[in-house]
Structure 1
Amino acid sequence: MGKERPVAFEDAVLAIIMTILVLELKKPETMNWSGLWALRANFFAYALSFFWIGLMWASHHNNWHLVKKLIDKQLV
Structure 2
Amino acid sequence: MTTNRLEAFSDGVLAIIITIMVLDLKVPIGDDLMSLKPYLPKFIYYLFSFIYVGIYWNNHHHLFQAIKRVNGAILWGNLHLLFWLSLLPVSTAWMGENFHSAWPVAFYGFVLLMSSIAFMIIEKVAVKTEGKESIIGKSVSKNIKEMSSCIGYILGIVVSFFKPEIGIVIYYLIALIWLIPDRRIEKVIE
- TM-score scaled by length of structure 2: 0.36
Residue 68 of structure 1, CA deviation: 1.1
The aligned counterpart of 2:5 is: 5
Q: 1:57 and 1:33, CA in 2 relative to 1: closer, same or farther beyond 3 A?
A: same
Structure 1 unpaired stretches of 5+: none
Q: How does 1:31-70 map to 2 (within 5 A)?
A: 31-70=31-70
Deviations 1:22-45 (A, max 9, x none): 100011111210011221101101
Larger radius of gyration: 1
More helix by percentage: 2
Q: 2:25 maps to which residue?
A: 25
The one-letter amino acid paired with 1:40 is L
Tell me, in whole angstroms, the C-alpha distance in 2 between the residues paired with 1:13 and 1:4.
14
What SS does the aligned partner of 1:39 have?
Answer: helix
SS in 1 for 2:50: helix
Give the letter for the 1:7 counterpart.
E
Identity percentage of aligned residues? 38
For residues 11-62 of structure 1, what are the alpha-carbon distances to aligned partners after superposition, in whole Å with 9 as ceiling and x for unaligned?
0000000011110001111121001122110110110111111111101111
Higher relative contact order (CA 8 A, sep 6+): 1
The number of residues matched between the two structures is: 72
